[in-house]
Structure 1
Amino acid sequence: MLSRLKAIPWMTVGIALLAILLMLRLGFWQLSRAEQKQLRAQQLEQRAANNPLSLQDINRQPGNVADFPVQVSGHLDIGKVFLWDNRVLKGQVGYEVLVPMTTNAGEVLINFGWIKAPPLRTQLPEIDLPTALLTLQGVVVMPGDNLVSREVSESGWPRRVQQPSPEQLAKQLGRDLLPYIVQLNDSQAYGFTNNWHPLVMPAEKHLAYAVQWFGLALACFIITLIALHKQRKKHGNSRAS
C-alpha cells in the first residue's frame, strides 16, 4: 500500500484538482450570469411594453428605473456637449454624443448616439443639434461604473469623457444632473447611429460557455484518472521485473 501511495505523483494530482475546481467555478459563474441575463431580458420585454413615461413618472418609480421607455421635452445645452470616448461600431472607433437637456423635471443627459471619429486624435467631430424646444423618446439607461477607466481632464467643448457617469459629468457642468441617461430611440433623425446594446451577451451564450467549462473539467478529471492508472500500472510492472 505504501509503495502504491509513493507511486502517485501528488504534485500533478494537486495541480489537476486545482484546475478542475477552477473550471467548475467558472462554469457555475457562467450559469449565474446566464440567470442574470434572463432576468434582464424579461425586464426589458416587460418595460418595453409600457407606454413612454414622463421624467416625473420615472423619478417617482421605486428601485431601479433602467429600461423604462420615456418621453422628455426641453431645450438642449448645445454648448456643453460630451463625447463618450472609444466607442466602437462595426470596427470603427468613434464617440457617443451626450448632451444635457433642461426639462421641468430636472436636467438630464441625452445620448444621441454614435458618430465616427475624425482621422486625427487632435480633431473632434462636428456636432449640429437643434436649439428649439424638443420632444424626444428614448429608454432610461443606468450607466455602470468602470473601475479600470481613468477620467482625463479636458478643457473646452465638446469635451471627451471616458465614462458617462452623470455624477462626474455634473461636476464638470457645475450643476445637478438626474442620475441616469436617456438613450434616444431615433438617433438617425439627428445624424447619429444608435449604438445601445442592453444585452451585450445573451443568456444562451453564457449557458454555452458553462457547458464548455464543465466539459473541460470532466475531460481533465478523466485524463487525470487515466494518467494515474498508467502510472500505477507502470510502477507495478517495474516492481515485478
Structure 2
Amino acid sequence: MLLKLRALPFFAGLLALLAIVIMLRLGFWQLARAEQKQLRTQQLEQRLALQPLSLQDINRQSGDVADFPVQIIGTLDTNHILLWDNRVVNGQVGYEVLVPMTTDYGTVLVNLGWLKAPVRRDQLPELTLPKHRLTLDGKVVVPGHNPISREMTESGWPKRIQQPERHYIESLLQTELLPYLVQVDDTQQFGYLNNWRPVVMPAEKHVAYAVQWFGLALACLIITLVAIAKQRKKYGKSVSP
C-alpha cells in the first residue's frame, strides 16, 4: 500500500511532464507560424506594390506566384459556374462565385466574389454574368488543399464545390486550368463582395498565442513541483518513527 502511495506522485509528475512538453511544442509551433506570416506579409507588400502583370508574365515566373497583381483579358464560361460552398462573411453563410475564363494564355479560374446563400439549402442563387470579352484586374491566388474535405455529387450547373482543388475542377470541366486562380479586385461590378483575406491571422496573434502556451507550461511546471514536494513531505511524515 505504501509503495502505491509513493508511486502516485511519480505518475502524476509524468503526466504533468507530458502536458508541459505538449504545451511547449504548441508554443514553438505558434512562433514558427508567426515567422511564416511575417514573411508572407512582407511578400504581399512587395508584390502588391508592382504594376499588374499579364497572364503571360505570370506563367513565365519561376517559383511561387501568389499575390502578384495581374490583369486578365478573356471571356467567362457562364455555362460552368462553380459555387465555393460554406464561405462565411459577418456570420452569414454564402458562396464565392468561381468561373473559368478563356484567355489567350490558357483557361484560368476567376473568383468574382462572395454572395449570400439562399435560406433553403436546395436552392441556388440566381446568377447573371456578362458573356462579352472582359478585362479584369486581380490578384493571383494559389489555393491550399484540405485532404479532409469531400466533394458532393451534384448534377447540373451551377455546381457547388467544397474547395477550389484544380484537378477536381479540371475533371468537372474536362478542361486544363492554369495552376492558380485570380481573385478579382472589383467584385462589385458583378454585384458581389470581395472576401479576399490573404493573411487571416497576423503574426502578432500567433506570438500572443505562443506566449500563452509558454505561460501555461510554466504554470503547470510550478504547480507540479509544489504538489510533488507536498506529497513527499506528507508521505515522509507518515513513515517516520
TM-score range, shorter chain: over 0.9
In structure 1, what is the Cα distance between the partners aligned to 2:14 and 2:225? 13
Q: TM-score, normalised by structure 2?
A: 0.95
1:207 is matched with which residue?
207
Q: 1:82-231, aligned counterparts within 5 Å?
A: 82-231=82-231
User: Hey, what's the Cα distance between the residues in 1 that align with 2:235 and 2:166?
Assistant: 67
Gaps of 5+ in 1: none
Deviation at 1:82, TM superposition (A): 0.4
Deviations 1:115-163 (A, max 9, x none): 1111111110011111111000000000100111011121111111111
Contact 1:81 1:97 in 2 (8 A): yes
Q: Is the 8 A contact 2:94 2:115 kept in 1?
A: yes
Deviation, structure 1 residue 184: 0.5
Identity of aligned residues (%): 65
CA distance in 1, matches of 2:239, 2:7: 11
What is the aligned residue count?
A: 238
Asked if the contact 2:109/2:180 (under 8 Å) is kept, the reply is: yes
Query: Are 1:64 and 2:73 matched, yes or no?
Result: no
Q: How many angstroms does 1:229 deviate by? A: 1.3
Give me the whole-angstrom Cα distance separating, in 1, the residues matched to 2:77 and 2:235. 80
**2:74–2:103: 8 Å Cα contact kept in structure 1?**
yes
- Give the conservation status (yes or no) of the 8 Å contact 1:7–1:231: no
Tell me which amino acid in the other structure corresponds to 1:123: Q
Give the Cα separation in 1 of the matches to 2:199 and 2:107.
27
Give 1:84 shift: 0.5
How far the C-alpha of 1:215 sits from its partner, in A, is 0.3
Any idea what SS the aligned residue of 1:36 has? Answer: helix
User: Which whole-Å deviations, capped at 9, do the CAs of 1:39-88 have from their partners, x for residues lacking one?
Assistant: 11011001001000000000000001000000000111111100011111
Q: Give 1:6 shift.
A: 4.2
Q: Is the 8 A contact 1:110 1:182 kept in 2?
A: yes
Bigger shift: residues 96-105 or 146-155: 146-155
One-letter identity of the residue aligned with 2:24:
L
Residue identity in the other structure for 1:172: L
Where has structure 1 moved over 2 Å in runs of 4 or more?
5-8, 235-241
